[in-house]
Structure 1
Amino acid sequence: MPVPETLLALMEPRPLHGYELRRQYDAVLGLRRPLRSGQIYSTLQRLRRDGLVDVVGVERAGGPERTSFEVTPAGAAGLERWFFQPEGIQPYLQPDLYAKVLLAVLTQRDATRVLDVQRAAHRALMRDMTKIKSSPDSRDIDVIAADLAILHLDADLRWIDSTERRLAKIRQDLIG
């Protein structure tokens, strides 16, 4: 899961400082994808350097300074591209897609579209793998590799369908 896009998605609804961002991250993704505090602050600095977030306030409430950041139009545009770009096909896709779906719901994006884009990418790759299996020139090692890919893709497609059926409940769980 790319940390910059994750932080942008969490900050998009409203400006956050690092501590709030960490709390939000832990509440949504922390149990499944731990993130060190240092990663948050170093990523915020890179996002600021790259013009994807701006500082909107600095407060001191009896402790260290808390700098609040908001997503810039360039950051929002990059986040929009990321949401609707299919993930690379990996043996274990769900952790990244899982996080992307939750973040899409949280930022009130079209999570169904996120799933549809991924479903289309999976089906295209399944067609390619099926061609490999049915080719008279395919070696057994090519066929079993294609079988493995097809079975993983099929499992991912079942997960995508199941998740799509649960989107209303997921929305309720995340944003009430």
Structure 2
Amino acid sequence: MSIRHGLLALLSRGPRHGYQLRVEFEASTGATWPLNIGQVYTTLSRMERDGLVTPGEPDEQGRVVHTITTAGRAEMARWFATPVVQSDRPRDELVIKLAMAVAAKEVDIAEVIRAQRTATMHALQQLTRAKRATAQTAAQRLVLDSMIFHAEAEQRWLDHCEALLKEER
């Protein structure tokens, strides 16, 4: 996820200072993607440099409120209009780990799969409990549902890996 674009989306609702952006970002994602306050201010500085936001005068507490510019709104609109493609996503460490386990000589790949399945099932249970435990905003439900669907897909993929490796023996 582009922090830059997420902050622009939040700023499209009105001027905000860095701490407000951090809190609203985490609230929107159900706190599943914690955001370092330093990252917020670094991103705001870059966006200011690029003409996407303008800073206001510091308030009585020294906080600078930022406002999205016309260029920032155009950048945000481009981001929302551009589909995310698989090649834009970071490498999947689990896929690489299992591929390397197959390639390595002294690795018990069945144990690697079992350990991952256990961890994924534990994560799935935690996510399901979190979904049931509290009322969420629509944004938070979308994030939790996505994480649940990914965990379920990972479980199915691990089943597939296990079956494929049994065929190879």
Q: 1:80 aligns with which of 77, 82, 85?
A: 77
Question: TM-score, normalised to structure 2's length?
Answer: 0.51
Q: What CA deviation, in whole Å up to 9, does each residue of 1:125-155 have, x standing for no partner?
A: xxxxxxxxxxxxxxxxxxxxxxxxxxxxxxx
Percent identical residues: 38
CA distance in 1, matches of 2:3, 2:20: 16
Report the structure number with the largest CA radius of gyration.
2
Amino acid aligned to 1:17: H
Cα offset for 1:170?
2.8
Any unmatched runs of 5+ in structure 1?
94-168
Spell out structure 1 runs of 4+ moving beyond 6 A: none
CA distance in 1, matches of 2:29, 2:22: 10
Confirm or deny that 1:55 pairs with 2:22.
no
Q: How does 1:136-175 map to 2 (within 5 A)?
A: 170=138
CA distance in 2, matches of 1:21, 1:31: 13
Confirm or deny that 1:67 pairs with 2:35.
no
CA distance in 1, matches of 2:30, 2:44: 18
Contact (CA 8 Å) 1:53, 1:70: kept in 2 or not?
A: yes
Question: TM-score, normalised to structure 1's length?
Answer: 0.49
- Give the aligned partner of residue 17 of structure 1: 17
Q: What CA deviation, in whole Å up to 9, does each residue of 1:52-74 have, x standing for no partner?
A: 0001332023xxx1000010000
- Give the aligned partner of residue 7 of structure 2: 7
CA distance in 2, matches of 1:38, 1:55: 17
Cα offset for 1:30?
5.2
CA distance in 2, matches of 1:88, 1:68: 34
CA distance in 2, matches of 1:34, 1:26: 6
Amino acid aligned to 1:52: L
Contact (CA 8 Å) 1:57, 1:69: kept in 2 or not?
A: no
Any unmatched runs of 5+ in structure 2?
91-136, 143-169
What secondary structure sits across from 1:54 in the alignment?
strand
CA distance in 1, matches of 2:67, 2:40: 14
CA distance in 2, matches of 1:50, 1:31: 28
Amino acid aligned to 2:45: Q
What secondary structure sits across from 1:55 in the alignment?
strand
- Give the aligned partner of residue 45 of structure 1: 45
Amino acid aligned to 1:55: P
Amino acid aligned to 1:51: G
Contact (CA 8 Å) 2:48, 2:54: kept in 1 or not?
A: yes
CA distance in 2, matches of 1:48, 1:4: 11
Q: CA RMSD for the aligned pairs? A: 2.6
Q: Number of aligned pairs?
A: 95
